[in-house]
Amino acid sequence: MLGWVITCHDEHAQEMADKLAVRFGPLVQCQVVNFWRGLSVNMLSRMLCDAQHQVDSGDGVIFLTDISGAAPYRAAALLSHKHDNCEVISGIGYPLLEMMYPLREMTDSIGFRDTIVARGAPEVSSLWHQQQKNPPFVLLHSVEKY
């Protein structure tokens, strides 16, 4: 099963998790990280790292964030590059999470990423989708060593 780390500004992540728990019961392999005003980005990164390790069963982890490019998204993006099967999604809201919750057991991280982005478009995107728009810099010729 895919692990979820829901991370948003203020109490929004906890509110969504609470609603999911009412609908589906106790949330297995799901952690909440609220980004409160005054919390340092370093502390946020540490909290996300801990949450990632707690929810990862080896099938993959999905970071669910509220705003693309904001601190929770950026911190999750940095963590995702260090682990296989890790995706970062932005623009999430409760109705979409409710729709996607059952898919955690039925799909891999890439399938989940593509499905949530398709169902949530145009508000929802992923780190991978953003990287496809702006691919990394690649040298077109080799550099000679002296």
Catalytic residue among 9, 12, 81, 141: 9
Beta bridge partners, 83, equal none
Whether the CB-CB separation of 105 and 66 falls below 8 Å is answered with no
53's CB contacts (< 8 A; 6+ apart) are none
Residue 90, Cβ density class (10 Å: 0-12 exposed, 13-18 middle, ≥19 buried): buried
**Residue 88 region, left (φ>0) first, then alpha (ψ -120 to 50), else beta?**
beta
Distance (Å, rounded) from C-alpha 137 to C-alpha 101? Answer: 36
- Per the annotation, the verdict on 81 as an active-site residue is no
Which contiguous run of DSSP H or E holds residue 57?
none
Q: What is the set of active-site residues?
A: 9
